[in-house]
Amino acid sequence: MNSSKQTVLVVLAYVGLAASLATGGQPGNGQPPQPAGNQPAGMNQVQPVVTETVAFVIAAEGRVTYAETPEAKPVRVTKGMRLKPGGVLQTGLKSAVQIQIGAAQLITIDRLGSVTLNQLLNVGGVETTRLTMERGRLQFDVTSTVIQNDVKVQTPDATLAVKGTQGGIEVTDGFPTRAFGAERNTGVFLVTYASGTTATVTSNQETDAANPDPAENNQQSAFVDTQNAAARESDEVSVVQRSSGSGTSMTISTGISSKSTSAAAIADVDPITGEPFEPDAPPIDPPPIDPPPIDPPPVDPPPTLNKYFGYDLAQNEIVLIGSGGDAVTVYEEAADQLSGFAGLGMRIGPNGERQLVLMETAIVNQGDLDIFQVRLKGFNLDNPESPGTELATFSAGQFALQGLAGLGTRLYAEGIDILNGSGGNDSIFELVPEAGNIVHRMTITGAEFEGGLAGAPDRGTLFVTSNFIDDAGIDHRSLLEVDPRNNLLVDAHDFAESDITDATLLEVPFSQEDIIQINGMAYVDGVVVYSATVLSGNESTFNVLVRYNPDAAGTASDPRVVRVDEADIGRFYVGLSGDEAIVPLLPDTLSDPTWRIETSNIDTRFAQMAFSDTALASGVVERLVSNHILQTSIDPQGCSDSGALFSLPGILSRHVHQEGGIGQSVAEFRDGLPDGHDCDDFGPE
């Protein structure tokens, strides 16, 4: 047995690299491959663009800690935590953690593991990761067919090189380092040991420093477990549930049976269909192109903010906006048809590129009807010099679409039913430019959407601003967090004067009550940024950019409104977008209904909507259901005076996180009323 501590280097190179080599691309000196016929010559070689790759925790169980540097104090890992270069992850007894790096690198660490994240970069389109593993087990799933990957892991006594595959490596004191392919591994990787011996591993073969040849390494024999038995429970450690917001139940099987040497079996849910998908087909997400700052991400309240995009209707330009609100033009003459109904969003394009999408909405006449026509225009940020191209043009019927946002490859817009004059029944639609159509995903009865819609892929949600009028006639402006993929209201925050404290940086006088209209919204560095038109002294208006932290405590020292800047004079932003396009967290798995779902005098999508406990605690859910009941009651005033609505909180609490939670709550409330009660449904119109 080899107990020496030579360097082990694990290289996970994306399968697309092999395809590039097959067509004549030449990798050299660690540089990304160049396409045939376009090789740089001599000293004229152009250096690749280098940007930071995003890494974050998607699941954890047991005691898992993270330190920003080896010298820093470790803190307990939380789901969704962003990881930085130089950080150290450690797993304790019976513990495991799964992280995502960039678009297509899924890493699982367990068995008293200790891994340092040395480098997290995108180099010329190749997501380049450098890790050091002192001990434990690291399992990898790098099978994207679009994104190039170059992952190297230093361990005690071997070098493992992979080109788009699944497998793992295990390091235990006193035993030879072993590497193995997963059961579904279709790639080939090389393992070079300190002795200079190189092993070629295919399928679910295994190699170790004592017996490098996979053919001679008898996989059919019982596997001798070399790890501390206390590092796991029996033969397996399970990590259940991603994070709230990704929600879907997930198990990371981190044990290895006496016969199998596969990597962790990762059960997941397809973000589009909701059906399980195999671990050899992870979601695809392109690397960021616009270089983020090299400094660590900001803390709350963030002192700096990554740049984000805005569509300026006044100048018909797409601009890049800095932390203080200063704007630089990126695309002139961006829109073909100027319209106040517009949106700007970021998504993963059909070829894996980071695609900024501008949405324009205009009224057109179709026979005797006026309808809204929507046009989508895409800008390839992998090639920012290229002009925008039309993606699709289609009808949105009576809905004026505005506020565009992306989650992975998918696009969403908010729809306002203007032509029918039925405000308060606004909806969220999914736009499918490849098919040229839209899909109705959510309706929130009683909500009147404004122009703000932002995609937060690291949370797996959208943010949307809305106005509500309660039964007392009081208008509430709220920030809603929703997941349109499973029709879930995740959270809600009413805007309030208490959002602003002495800790808020006000570059211009501002009050939440002065807002006339929110025009655009983006999610940047964990903060919601919205553009708003505000009234000054009841005489004039001006436009501001507001940074709002939905996770702030809302205290004097941790206000929700972090900073307010005045927009550049002459600019009017009707769309904002962050600059990241990453794989979103998966949707929560909802429980089955426990009551019937109301179908009478209620929008089907509203009835099918689910809500979380945090959304219920905000008061918005009770407000929505109460308003719906009053609007559909035999006698709304009599219903309000009867006191029957006091039973709603208890009813709602029984349907948290259930499919059709809204419709169930309405049904249970009315099923408990005596015949002819003022709150009863007035019946079919």
Q: Quote the pLDDT of residue 419.
A: 57
Give, for 18, the enclosing helix (H) or strand (E).
helix 15-22
Beta-sheet pairing, 461-469 with 475-483: antiparallel
In the chain, where the domains are located:
8-24+49-277, 309-577, 604-671
CA distance 573 to 567: 9
**Band of the pLDDT at 77, cuts 50, 70, 90?**
confident
Q: How confident is the prediction for the chain on average, in pLDDT?
A: 78
Which residues is 610 bridged to in the sheet? Answer: 488
CA distance 284 to 187: 18
pLDDT at 538 over 60: no
Put the strands of the sheet holding 527-536 in their side by side order.
505-506, 561-566, 540-548, 527-536, 515-524
pLDDT at 533 over 50: yes
Q: Quote the pLDDT of residue 322.
A: 86
CA distance 417 to 452: 16
- pLDDT tens digits, 28-65: 333 334 433 444 444 455 677 787 777 878 777 778 89
- pLDDT tens digits, 242-262: 232 333 333 333 333 323 333
Q: Which has the closest alpha carbon to 591: 242, 231, 247, 335?
A: 247
**Band of the pLDDT at 338, cuts 50, 70, 90?**
low
**Band of the pLDDT at 304, cuts 50, 70, 90?**
low
CA distance 520 to 205: 53
CA distance 141 to 556: 44
Share of the chain above pLDDT 70, in %: 74
SS (H, E, C) 40-105: CCHHHCCCCCEEECCEEEEEEECCEEEECCCCCCCEECCCCCEECCCCEEEECCCCEEEEEECCCE
**Band of the pLDDT at 289, cuts 50, 70, 90?**
low
Return the C-alpha torsion angle 349, 350, 353, 359, nearest 10: -20
**Band of the pLDDT at 539, cuts 50, 70, 90?**
low
Peptide bond into 276 cis (omega under 30): no
CA distance 325 to 524: 14
- The alpha-carbon radius of gyration of the chain (Å, integer) is 27
Q: Which fold has domain 309-577?
A: Tachylectin-2; Chain A (2.115.10)
For residues 355 and 378, the answer to whether their CB atoms sit within 8 Å is yes
- pLDDT tens digits, 155-201: 877 666 665 677 888 988 888 888 888 776 777 777 778 788 888 88
CA distance 416 to 425: 8
CA distance 275 to 173: 41
CA distance 421 to 66: 53
CA distance 508 to 563: 10
Helix (H) and strand (E) counts for the chain? 7, 43
Q: Quote the pLDDT of residue 305.
A: 65
Give the side-chain half-sphere CA count within 13 A for 205: 20
Among 155-159, 174-178, 555-559, 656-660, which stretch is predicted with the lowest mean pLDDT? Answer: 155-159
| DSSP of 117-131 | EEEEEEETTEEEEEE
CA distance 391 to 350: 11
* Nearby residues of 569 by Cβ (< 8 Å), 6 or more positions away: none
Q: Of 146-155, 208-217, 544-553, give the range with the top mean pLDDT.
A: 544-553
Q: Quote the pLDDT of residue 157.
A: 73
Q: Which has the closest alpha carbon to 72: 87, 53, 54?
A: 87
**Band of the pLDDT at 553, cuts 50, 70, 90?**
very high
* Cβ neighbours around 670 below 10 Å, total: 18
CATH architecture of 8-24+49-277: Sandwich (2.60)
Integer angstrom CA distances of residue 288 from 56, 296, 560, 576: 15, 16, 28, 17
Helix (H, G, I), strand (E, B) or coil at 574: strand
Average pLDDT over residues 463-485: 84
CA distance 568 to 507: 12
CA distance 98 to 53: 17
Prediction pTM value: 0.58
Tokens of 664: 């169930």
Looking at per-residue pLDDT, the higher value among 497 and 527 belongs to: 527
pLDDT at 227 over 60: no
For residues 53 and 101, the answer to whether their CB atoms sit within 8 Å is yes
Average pLDDT over residues 348-362: 91
- What does the chain come to in residues? 685
| DSSP of 377-446 | EEEETTSTTSPPEEEEEEEEETEEEEEEEEETTEEEEEEEETTTT-TTB-EEEEEETTTTEEEEEEE-TT
Q: Quote the pLDDT of residue 243.
A: 30
Average pLDDT over residues 438-444: 94
For residues 564 and 545, the answer to whether their CB atoms sit within 8 Å is yes
Put the strands of the sheet holding 369-380 in their side by side order.
342-348, 354-366, 369-380, 389-397
**Band of the pLDDT at 684, cuts 50, 70, 90?**
low
The answer to whether 8-24+49-277 and 309-577 have equal CATH topology is no
Looking at per-residue pLDDT, the higher value among 469 and 572 belongs to: 572
